[in-house]
Amino acid sequence: MITRRHFAALAGAAFITGMSASAQAQNVTLRSTDIHPTDYPTVEAVRHMGKLLDERTKGRIKINVFHSAQLGQEKDTIDQTRFGVIDMNRINMAPFNNLIPATNIPSLPFIFRSVDHMRKVMDGAVGDNLLKDFEKHDLIGLAFYDSGSRSFYNSKKAINTPADMKGMKIRVQQSDMFVALVSALGANATPMPFGEVYSALQTGVIDGAENNWPSYESTRHFEVSKFYSMTEHSLSPEVLVMSKKSFDKFNAADQALIKAAAKESVAKMRELWDAREKASEAKVKAGGAQVNSIEKQPFIDAMKPVYDKFVTDPKLKEMVAAIQAVK
């Protein structure tokens, strides 16, 4: 949904893009979108990238991060980025799942053994190939950011086994893979934009959702959904993409600077992320969240139908094998 506030921000953005298109040497401010609040690690990391670019181009290229979903909810911003109305987008992999089949793979339940494993995979050949896949969709894949591990939370009771989830209404991201994941656990999946989850929890439209510590905390979902059960079922990474239309306006040297600054922002993101995860966990616990750990094996066993449905062609099978082979 495009509100009046979004429209005003977009109209301003299009004007700046028009100016930058005509004069390469002039100063350019790239507009980047993020649904998270101003102090969130993803927002800070893109700002850090902007600072590097600003320094390295002596102020010719800057980035302005429109945080807190000022430019819209994630799924709605994809097309705007493809068309060049938004220059850059920090977004989770899940909203791309239906558009780019390979993005399902790193979002798959229990595909990574640990955060270290995920970082190695996304930093290596699997990650590089996946970044290239965005180009067919008018986007330049710049970098992957961490998103920790996602766990289920709800307002009813602690989840210990898949049977505890039977019949629960669980919000998922707008991705068929996440719908299948939740359905395989016997719950009812309700795809919904992130910004609508708090009131849906509050009014009982849904019983729960799933996310990492920082999102559970920053959205204050813990106030209306206090049982957080550590299933850690998905490490679906974040991705930073740029509109190909915007990217193509730069010469090769500037394009290389943009790509390098994005890659360098990953280390900054990880540093901020690790600190924020701990701080958020402490904050939600102090705020009344009831946290329980679970035995993962029954959840892992329940995921076979998800793999059968989404790891279909040879390319995707190879990708899964390549991820598993990374030590």
Task: Say if residue 202 is exposed, middle or buried (CB neighbours under 10 Å; 0-12, 13-18, 19+).
Answer: middle
Contact 132, 141 (CB under 8 A): yes
CB of 197 to ligand GTR, least distance (A): 8
Of the candidate residues 87, 146, 238, 281, the single one contacting ligand GTR (CB under 6 A): 238
- Return the bridge partners of 29, or none: 62
164 lies in the site for ligand GTR, by CB under 6 A: no
- The H or E element that residue 211 is part of is strand 208-211
Smaller CB separation from ligand GTR, 50 or 214:
214
The sign of the torsion formed by the CA atoms of 165, 107, 147, 118 equals positive
Out of 173, 190, 229, 234, the only residue in the binding site for ligand GTR (CB under 6 A) is: 173
Q: Which of 96, 112, 194, 247 binds ligand GTR (CB under 6 A)?
A: 194
Question: Could you give the residue ranges of the DSSP H alpha helices within 134-187?
Answer: 176-184
Residue 192, both tokens: 């919904």
Nearer to ligand GTR (CB atom), residue 96 or residue 227: 96
Region binding ligand GTR by CB under 6 A among candidate stretches 123-131, 198-206, 208-216, 262-270: 208-216
CB atoms within 10 A of CB 78: 19
* Burial tier of 274 (Cβ tally within 10 Å: 0-12, 13-18, 19+): middle
Pick the binder of ligand GTR from 80, 215, 229, 246 (CB under 6 A): 215
Residues 293, 297, 299, 305, Cα dihedral to 10°: 160
Q: Which is nearer to ligand GTR, 28 or 177 (CB)?
A: 177
Candidates 180-188, 207-215, 261-269, 278-286; binding stretch for ligand GTR (CB under 6 A)? 207-215
DSSP string, 40-100: SHHHHHHHHHHHHHHHHTTTSEEEEEE-TTTT--HHHHHHHHHTTSSSEEEEESGGGTTT-
Using the rule CB under 6 A, give the single segment among 43-51, 109-117, 211-219, 241-249 that binds ligand GTR.
211-219
Instruction: Using the minimum distance from each CB to ligand GTR, give the nearer residue, 91 or 121.
Output: 91
Applying the rule CB under 6 A, the residues between 60 and 89 that interact with ligand GTR are 74
Q: For the segment 87-146, give every residue that binds ligand GTR (CB under 6 A).
A: 91-92, 94
Judge whether 41 and 273 are in contact, CB under 8 Å: yes
Q: Which CB, 112 or 250, lies closer to ligand GTR?
A: 112
Shortest Å distance, C-beta 327 to ligand GTR: 27
Token pair, residue 60, equals: 């010719």
What is the C-alpha separation between 251 and 274, in angstroms, rounded?
Answer: 35
Residue sitting closest to ligand GTR (CB): 92
Nearer to ligand GTR, 160 or 183 (CB): 183
Residue from 212, 225, 229, 231 in contact with ligand GTR (CB under 6 A): 212
**Which stretches of the chain bind ligand GTR, using CB under 6 A?**
74, 91-92, 94, 147, 173, 194, 211-212, 215, 238
